[in-house]
């Protein structure tokens, strides 16, 4: 049964304390007069009536889980409270008075909508009934990483942002943002923890797949289009707010290591290219992004203090607030304050450069730096202590609370935070959205090579019905295009689907989700691939979540194509000529690991003699 919220007064919108009234005689409860007041007036009125504890609860946005049936997550009796993924929803909403949550996990769209309504009911029972803002990492692509993206069944499926950059069509990026907006709205999500405006200047960095590639101008166009797709031309009741990340650009990680981990804490600029990484953020500001997330890392060898960006007053106040004039919400990346566990293993706070500080002082530094909200934390009591001991002023807290309240009002959450589960089931992943996403997957396919060394004609497109040997492709899907055979001896052509390599030594716990380190295949990994390419003309399709080093495979393949998240159908539509590929490489493919290591982390496409240059991509006749 669908959960339908009962009509209830939301006292917060009635400054005189009067409940909602049936203004039109139609049984619909509406707030008395308050909806008609200017937003700034509503914010000021509510701010005056909030206690310090209620304000403190607003400054934290942590993870919240969902049950598959759409019910709220509550711990079993006697269960440990150390796992934030199983924290009590009621304790966070009615105890800690929090009303911003990052949805972790998924359920069917109908159940997600029902969950939203239950959560809003719970929040409405608090003294002021402040509605909840639900946020999410990307849900509409293939990769599932608990720190970066949540592949969600029932939503339309798109290539990773690299694929949109490969197509280079700003209108496609805007359309994707708009479709995501409609799917998020249907289930109650009002804040997108995307786009990533970072640049893929360091090929080994595990987060490359979430970027729009290595070129700042291309990324700027894509970022601006994505923001406009989510928010429209101005933030309003039908918008999903965009939190653009990770300011001031997270790409130039030392040795390509990730800043989730202590060995990846440093961000470096050996090419003196700091300003290049700001270009996509400047486009996000122009597009009106509502929020900004600073990165974990600490800058090394720059004019800025060597402390993590979330603690960095030079960057948040000096650069973001003062130089760029950004007056929107600044929310830190997740988990800067509290050591915890993830998947049963210790996971230290990402307090890079502030490791020596206690939790209270870390929060003080974050607030002093100019951030409004702490991501991945649930400790309002620390804000209360800072104010009551005089270390942070009440006025400073009010400044951030006002920004957060204003966004809730502008989004219309105070007036109606509920969604229709029936509509959610109809909207999310509907036939139109699915078809557009599938077409985008095919369009982003990048043809790198299409001619066997000893042939005079290209291999692609393949002839329908050809005898096909396939690895990494679902046989029933392949059978819609070709005669599928099970041995190389029977085949006219082979298709292999492979992925960019990574260091297999990082195979346990949270680190295993971050495909880091080497980009080249070992001899043992190459052997089975080359055995196929020598036996029969072979199309090799490689998933480029990072810039693979593949000279031997490129030489041996009859045709070589790249994808950035594409289903078997999307790929085969291209290989058999049903859809034209439009992709061009969103970063160069280096010829060797030596050239990768010799490159500057902050400079795009600077390897010597790349195997395939930035922008390379063939077009099929």
Q: How many CA atoms lie within 13 A of 428 on its CB side?
A: 27
| Active-site hit among 169, 215, 258, 333 | 333
> 241-247 and 191-192 as β-strands: parallel, antiparallel, unpaired?
parallel
pLDDT of residue 18 exceeding 50, the answer is no
Quote the pLDDT of residue 6: 42
Whether the predicted pLDDT of 234 surpasses 90: yes
The mean of the pLDDT values for the chain is 92
Once rounded to an integer, what is the mean pLDDT over residues 400-420?
97
Position 253 scores a pLDDT of 98
Scan for tokens 């701010």, then name that residue: 47
- Name every residue whose Cβ is closer than 8 Å to that of residue 218 and which is 6 or more positions away in sequence: 165, 168, 212, 586
User: Is there a cis peptide before residue 195, judged by omega within 30 degrees of 0?
Assistant: yes
Burial of 29: CB neighbours in 10 Å, binned 0-12, 13-18, 19+: middle
Query: CA 521, CA 19: separation in Å to the nearest integer?
Result: 66
pLDDT at 11: 37
Q: Which residues contact 448 (CB under 8 A, 6 or more apart)?
A: 554, 560, 561, 562, 585, 589, 612, 616, 617, 618
Contact yes or no for 553/523 (Cβ under 8 A): no
Our answer to whether residue 333 is catalytic in this structure is yes
pLDDT digits (tens, 9 = 90+) for 445-463: 999 999 866 667 899 999 9
At 388 the pLDDT is: 98
The region of weakest confidence among 20-34, 183-197, 296-310, 583-597 is 20-34
Give the largest CA-CA distance in the chain: 84
Phi and psi at 181, nearest 5°, equal -55, -50
**What one-character-per-residue DSSP string does 506-549 give?**
--SGGGGGS--S--B--HHHHHHHHHHHHHS-EEEEEE-SS--B
* Residue 21 dihedral angles phi and psi, to the nearest 5°: -130, 155
**Dihedral (C-alpha) 430, 432, 437, 443: value to the nearest 10 degrees?**
160
pLDDT at 316: 98
Is 107 in a helix, a strand, or coil? Answer: coil
pLDDT 10s digits, 537-573: 999 999 999 999 999 999 999 999 999 999 999 999 9
Say if CB 482 and CB 463 are below 8 A apart: no
For 327-360, give the DSSP string: -SEEBPPS-SS--EEETTEEE----TT-TTS-HH
Query: With bands split at pLDDT 50, 70 and 90, how would you rate the model's confidence at 497?
Result: very high
Question: Looking at 249-324, which runs of residues are DSSP E strands?
Answer: 266-268, 291-294, 298-300
What is the model's pLDDT at position 164? 98
Q: Does residue 5 surpass a pLDDT of 90? A: no
Q: Which residue has the higher pLDDT, 462 or 4?
A: 462
CA torsion, ordered 416, 73, 84, 391, to nearest 10 deg: 40
């Amino acid at each position: 049964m669908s959960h339908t919220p009962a009509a209830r007064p939301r006292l917060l919108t009635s400054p005189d304390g009067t409940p909602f009234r049936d203004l039109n005689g139609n049984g619909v409860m509406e707030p008395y007069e308050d909806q008609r007041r200017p937003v700034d007036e509503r914010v000021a009125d509510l701010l005056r009536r909030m206690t310090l504890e209620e304000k403190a609860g607003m400054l934290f946005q942590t993870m919240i889980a969902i049950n598959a049936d759409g019910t709220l997550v509550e711990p079993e009796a006697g269960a440990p409270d150390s796992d934030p993924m199983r924290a009590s929803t009621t304790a966070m909403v009615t105890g800690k008075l929090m009303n911003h949550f990052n949805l972790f996990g998924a359920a069917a769209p109908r159940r997600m909508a029902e969950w939203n309504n239950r959560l809003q009911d719970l929040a409405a029972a608090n003294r002021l009934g402040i509605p909840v803002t639900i946020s999410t990492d990307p849900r509409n692509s293939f990769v599932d990483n608990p720190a970066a993206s949540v592949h969600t069944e029932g939503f339309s499926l798109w290539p990773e942002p690299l694929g949109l950059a490969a197509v280079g069509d700003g209108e496609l990026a805007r359309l994707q943002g708009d479709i995501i907006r409609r799917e998020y709205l249907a289930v109650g999500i009002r804040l997108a923890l995307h786009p990533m405006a970072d640049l893929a200047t360091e090929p080994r960095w595990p987060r490359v797949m979430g970027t729009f590639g290595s070129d700042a101008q291309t990324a700027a166009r894509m970022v601006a289009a994505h923001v406009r797709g989510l928010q429209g031309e101005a933030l309003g009741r039908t918008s999903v707010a965009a939190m653009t990340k990770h300011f001031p650009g997270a790409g130039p990680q030392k040795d390509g290591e990730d800043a989730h981990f202590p060995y990846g804490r440093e961000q470096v600029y050996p090419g003196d290219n700091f300003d290049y990484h700001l270009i996509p953020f400047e486009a996000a500001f122009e597009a009106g992004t509502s929020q900004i997330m600073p990165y974990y890392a600490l800058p090394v060898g720059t004019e800025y203090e060597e402390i993590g960006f979330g603690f960095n007053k030079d960057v948040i106040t000096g650069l973001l607030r003062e130089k760029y004039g950004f007056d929107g919400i600044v929310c830190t990346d997740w988990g800067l304050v509290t050591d915890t566990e993830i998947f049963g293993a210790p996971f230290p706070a990402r307090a890079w450069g502030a490791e020596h500080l206690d939790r209270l002082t870390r929060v003080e530094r974050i607030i002093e730096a100019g951030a409004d909200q702490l991501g991945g934390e649930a400790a309002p009591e620390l804000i209360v202590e800072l104010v009551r001991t005089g270390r942070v002023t009440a006025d400073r807290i009010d400044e951030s609370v006002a920004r957060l309240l204003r966004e809730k009002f502008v989004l219309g959450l105070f007036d109606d935070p509920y969604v229709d589960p029936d509509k959610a089931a109809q909207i999310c992943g509907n036939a139109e959205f699915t078809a557009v996403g599938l077409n985008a997957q095919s369009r982003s396919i990048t043809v790198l090579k299409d001619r066997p060394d000893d042939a005079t004609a290209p291999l692609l497109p393949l002839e329908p019905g050809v005898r096909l040997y396939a690895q990494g492709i679902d046989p029933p899907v392949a059978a819609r295009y070709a005669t599928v055979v099970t041995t190389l001896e029977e085949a006219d052509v082979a298709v292999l689907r492979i992925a960019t390599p990574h260091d297999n030594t990082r195979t346990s716990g949270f680190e295993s989700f971050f495909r880091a380190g080497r980009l080249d295949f070992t001899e043992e990994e190459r052997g089975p691939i080359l055995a196929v390419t020598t036996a029969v003309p072979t199309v090799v399709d490689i998933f480029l979540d990072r810039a693979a080093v593949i000279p031997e495979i490129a030489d041996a393949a009859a045709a070589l194509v790249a994808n950035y998240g594409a289903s078997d159908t999307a790929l085969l539509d291209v290989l058999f000529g049903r859809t034209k590929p439009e992709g061009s490489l969103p970063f160069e493919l280096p010829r060797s690991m030596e050239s990768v290591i010799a490159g500057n982390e902050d400079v795009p496409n600077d390897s010597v003699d790349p195997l395939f240059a930035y922008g390379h991509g063939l077009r099929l006749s």
